[in-house]
Structure 1
Amino acid sequence: MNTWLFDLGNSRLKCAPLHAGTVGAGFAVDHDGAILPADWQRPLPARFDHAVVASVAAPAVTVALLDALTGHCDRIARVRTQARCGGVRIAYRQPQHLGVDRFLALLAAHTRTRHAALIVGVGTALTLDLLDADGLHRGGRIAPAPALMRAALHARVPQLPAAGGAYAEFADDTDDALVSGCEGAALGLIARSREAAASLLDAPPQVLLHGGGAAALLPRLADAVHAPALVLEGLAQWQRSAG
């Protein structure tokens, strides 16, 4: 079966084909949270058999994606968070309150490693989820990602730039201080979570980093693994479990 995977976030859509259970080379498009770009479908094949979709975006953007996909395929599966799947058990008492992107990242992490993992998503939000070696989700945290921190500061204080600067532990310029403070806040939360996880599990977890803002943090996270397609990998794992 010719299957494509779609991960629709709050500001980005990632798409990739599924080849023999493995995520193939795909593409990504940015969006403004209200509408998808007019030409986003251009890299897609005219027809394929099956679409597997995960979305945390606004309902209107999700509906636009689903409507567009009906012109390419006859079968569309919308993935939602499940209490148990693929050896993973979700900590939330109400599983539907856990974002489907976080759920899928947990599935992918459990497939990647049978060791404990701290899964860090750096998108519009900064999300952290702890998964133990037995596939039990121990819970997580949500905070503004560095880019959102910058945007919020700029919106409240327009003279503070929304982007730019270079990271420093103690900056001597406002641009540098802003990027250092916002990225430093994220790094501090990750470090604290990793320390707490090591105490809880008696061993430090592997850190898996994904999302559009992950690359900026990666150089200052020792031993972290960059897994940019982690949610798509989770979609592939869900498809295997469902099939």
Structure 2
Amino acid sequence: MSAWVFDLGNSRLKCAPLGEDGRPGDVLAFAHDGRALDAGWERALPMRIEAAHVASVAAPALRVALLEALSARCARIGLASTQRAWGGVRIAYAAPERLGVDRFLAMLAAHSRGGAWLVVGVGTALTIDLVDADGRHHGGRIAPSPALMREALHARATQLPPVGGHYREFATDTDDALASGCTGAALALVTCSGEAAAQLCGRPVPVLLHGGGADALRPHLPDAVHAPALVLEGLGCWAQVGRTP
């Protein structure tokens, strides 16, 4: 019997077993189209799971489908939700339920590492949150990710390709200009947020980078800490705090 964590995002389901230290093991990832999970994904799981800890920002119908599938093999299922205060983290939002649970869990994981962090998630959206060394969330930003910027431009002007090109400081063809502009816009927002975070915290704040689109920014943020399983790490924190009397 075992415990697993499940992160149902807008385009992928990621899951992993939890070790005895509360950290996720090898991560499995399954794409979905927003309406249904890939057929046969359950075959990658053990036949029986003692406890499943789930976070979801996907459509309600897809979340229900995941929970129904897990109920056939899980003794206990817990659904994580954003809390005003949890695991030493205190959320800045006046209405905590309006903060995505993926951002909340990423901050739990960041705080568990110690120190202040600028938590940058790159998925469908680009999210940035500042959590200081005391666990205080100072707020954040949400913007389109570079990939979503490209898709939006293509939707309005089909002659502009939705993918392709390379980052250049000053591009000399359209594909490179699109890649450079969309990636550059995201980098500028991260840089601006980092400068503001340093002023608030009185010292530079390291970047903790996660999400399926993080690879687009990683070459340009050499000092960032890459944590691809950060939300699953946060679910491990959630599970541990939830077991504390």
Q: TM-score, normalised by structure 1?
A: 0.98
**Cα shift readout 1:44-79 (whole Å, capped 9, x = no counterpart):** 111111110000001111111111111111211000
C-alpha separation in 1, matches of 2:86 and 2:79? 15
Q: Secondary structure at the match of 2:212?
A: coil
Whichever residue aligns with residue 193 of structure 2, its letter is S
C-alpha separation in 2, matches of 1:150 and 1:32? 19
C-alpha separation in 2, matches of 1:36 and 1:49? 22
Is the 8 Å Cα contact of residues 27 and 229 (structure 2) preserved in structure 1? no
* Percent of aligned positions that are identical: 65
Question: What is residue 107 of structure 1 aligned with on the other side?
Answer: 108
Question: Where in structure 2 are the equivalents of 1:45-194 lying within 5 Å?
Answer: 45-113=46-114, 115-194=115-194
Query: Runs (4+) of structure 1 moved beyond 4 Å?
Result: none
Question: Where in structure 2 are the equivalents of 1:2-13 lying within 5 Å?
Answer: 2-13=2-13
Whichever residue aligns with residue 22 of structure 1, its letter is R
C-alpha separation in 2, matches of 1:185 and 1:81? 29
C-alpha separation in 2, matches of 1:239 and 1:211? 21
C-alpha separation in 1, matches of 2:53 and 2:47? 16
Offset of residue 22 of structure 1 = 1.9
The gaps in structure 1 that reach 5 residues or longer are none
Whichever residue aligns with residue 199 of structure 1, its letter is Q
C-alpha separation in 2, matches of 1:124 and 1:197? 24
Is the 8 Å Cα contact of residues 125 and 143 (structure 2) preserved in structure 1? yes
**Cα shift readout 1:85-131 (whole Å, capped 9, x = no counterpart):** 11110000111000000000000000012x21000000000000000
**Cα shift readout 1:134-187 (whole Å, capped 9, x = no counterpart):** 100000000000111111111111111111111111111111111111110000
C-alpha separation in 2, matches of 1:162 and 1:31? 20
Q: TM-score, normalised by structure 2?
A: 0.97
Matched, 1:234 2:244: no
Q: Secondary structure at the match of 2:14?
A: strand
C-alpha separation in 2, matches of 1:26 and 1:182? 29
C-alpha separation in 1, matches of 2:29 and 2:223? 27
C-alpha separation in 1, matches of 2:206 and 2:87? 19
Q: How many residues align?
A: 242
Q: Secondary structure at the match of 2:5?
A: strand
Matched, 1:38 2:69: no
Whichever residue aligns with residue 153 of structure 2, its letter is L
Offset of residue 222 of structure 1 = 3.2
The gaps in structure 2 that reach 5 residues or longer are none
Whichever residue aligns with residue 104 of structure 1, its letter is L
C-alpha separation in 2, matches of 1:222 and 1:38? 38
TM-align CA RMSD = 0.9
C-alpha separation in 2, matches of 1:211 and 1:80? 19
